[in-house]
Amino acid sequence: DIQMTQSPSTLSASVGDRVTITCRASHTINRWLAWYQQKPREAPKLLIYKASTLEVGVPSRFSGSGSGTDFTLTISSLQPDDFATYYCQQYSSNSRTFGQGTTVEIK
Amino acid sequence: EVQLVESGGGLVQPGGSLTLSCAASGFNFSDYWMHWVRQAPGKGLVWVSRINNDGSILNSADFVRGRFTISRDNAKNILFLQMSSLRAEDTAVYYCARRYGGNSDLDYWGQGTLVTVSS
């Protein structure tokens, strides 16, 4: 099974900050990586797929990069609506694996 | 508008059974692979199972294999998750999600249904 490890688990930041979340796969997944945003009591929302492709409607301040085993999600200028939990997820295999999540909190 | 609406959650005793449903609308259901993902209270997302568009390919996580069965009714646009031998650790919100296909993955999710396993 492919394991996904995200860091940090929690991140405190201010509006306007540049924020980076990292995700590492235990085996190479090429670029089969997605990022989701989840707010309390809501379903996850797809932000990025194929490591760097922005889903339609997602603001351009979100970006993704990486390939193989190491990936990053960057928010270039944090906005009030961005305080949430973010998950990476691999879809290289017949199953799916999520990272443990990174909660972006208000500093 | 794409909509996925889960139902069937509730309180069940350990060892019991429950069937979840996910009603799909706003898209051609029979064209898409579908998934179940769960989230225990205060915890992260965990993948449960998937089914291909015609129901001929099924995959499940090791921890539910032999206990949970995914299925679908393309005539009625409904996805199912039959759960048996339920344990306390199966307590979670269960989401159904659509796989868009191509380079993308789970692009639409339902609002989730809560399953509580407790005596």
Percent with pLDDT over 70 in chain A = 100
Round to whole Å and give the CA distance between B97 and B87.
Answer: 23
What string of DSSP letters covers A74-107? EESS--GGG-SEEEEEE-SSSS-EE---EEEEE-
CB pairs under 8 A between A and B: 62
DSSP B32: S
Q: Is the pLDDT of residue B119 over 90?
A: yes
Q: Do B104 and A34 touch (CB under 8 A)?
A: yes
Percent with pLDDT over 90 in chain B = 93
Q: Do A43 and B106 touch (CB under 8 A)?
A: no
Round to whole Å and give the CA distance between A87 and B44.
Answer: 8
Q: Is the pLDDT of residue B47 over 90?
A: yes
- Average pLDDT, integer, range B50-57: 96
For A44, the closest of B61, B62, B109 (CB atoms) is B109
Asked if the C-beta of B46 comes within 8 angstroms of chain A's C-beta atoms, the answer is yes
- Burial of B74-93, coded b for 16+ CB within 10 Å and e otherwise, reads eeebbbbbebeebeeebbbb
Write down the pLDDT at residue B101: 84
What string of DSSP letters covers chain B? --EEEEE--EEE-TT--EEEEEEEESS-GGGSEEEEEEE-TTS-EEEEEEE-TTS--EEE-TTTTTTEEEEEETTTTEEEEEE-S--GGG-EEEEEEEE--TT--EEEE---EEEEE--
* Weakly modelled stretches of chain A, pLDDT under 70: none
DSSP A18: -
Structure tokens, B41: 């209270």
Write down the pLDDT at residue B41: 97
Dump pLDDT digits (tens) for B3-44.
999 999 999 999 999 999 999 999 999 999 999 999 999 999
